[in-house]
Amino acid sequence: MGKYFKQFLSDDRENVMGSELMKNNNQLEANYRSLEEKYEDLEAKYEALEIINRNLEQRIQEEITKNRRKDRILLEQSRLAAMGEMVANIGHQMRQPLNSLSLLIQDVREASEYGEINNQYIDWFTRESMIQINHMTQTINDFRKFYRPNIEKCSFSISDSIEDALAIFAFSLKSHNIRLEFEYRGQQMAFGNPNEFSQVVLNILINALDAFVAKDIKNRQLRIIIKETTEFFVAEFIDNAGGIEPSMLDKVFNPYFTTRPHGTGLGLYLTKMIMENMNGKVIVENKGDGARISLSVPKVTTGVNQAFNTLS
CB nearest ligand ATP: which residue? 267
Rounded Cα gap, residues 173 and 183, in angstroms: 17
Q: To the nearest whole angstrom, how small is the minimum distance from the Cβ of residue 222 to ligand ATP?
A: 9
Q: Which amino acid is at 111?
A: A
Which residues, 6+ apart, have CB-to-CB distance to 190 below 8 Å? Answer: 155, 156, 157, 158, 197, 233, 297, 298, 299, 300, 303
Closest CA to 264 of 63, 84, 87: 84
For the segment 75-104, give every residue that binds ligand ATP (CB under 6 A): 78, 81
- Name the residues that contact Mg ion, by CB under 5 A: 207, 267
Binding at 266: pick from ligand ATP, Mg ion, none (beta carbon under 5-8 Å per type): ligand ATP
Binding at 286: pick from Mg ion, ligand ATP, none (beta carbon under 5-8 Å per type): none
Query: Which lies closer to Mg ion via its Cβ, residue 211 or residue 234?
Result: 211
Query: Which lies closer to ligand ATP via its Cβ, residue 135 or residue 223?
Result: 223
Which residues, 6+ apart, have CB-to-CB distance to 194 below 8 Å? Answer: 150, 154, 156, 160, 161, 164
Closest CA to 221 of 204, 234, 238: 238
Query: Which lies closer to ligand ATP via its Cβ, residue 95 or residue 260?
Result: 260
Stretch that binds ligand ATP, among 53-61, 160-168, 264-272, 275-283 (CB under 6 A): 264-272
Q: CB 168: neighbour CB atoms within 10 A?
A: 24
CB 177 within 8 Å of CB 211: no
CB nearest Mg ion: which residue? 267
Give yes or no for residue 241 binding ligand ATP (CB under 6 A). Answer: yes
Give yes or no for residue 282 binding ligand ATP (CB under 6 A). Answer: no
Binding at 155: pick from Mg ion, ligand ATP, none (beta carbon under 5-8 Å per type): none
Q: To the nearest whole angstrom, how small is the minimum distance from the Cβ of residue 267 to Mg ion?
A: 3
- As a dihedral over the C-alpha atoms of residue 172, residue 75, residue 199, residue 232, rounded to 10 degrees, the angle is 140
Phi, psi of 61 (to 5 degrees): -60, -40
Give yes or no for residue 291 binding ligand ATP (CB under 6 A). Answer: yes
Give yes or no for residue 165 binding ligand ATP (CB under 6 A). Answer: no
Q: 280: helix, coil or strand? A: coil
Residues that bind ligand ATP (CB under 6 A): 78, 81, 203, 207-208, 210-211, 239, 241, 243-244, 252, 257-260, 263-269, 291
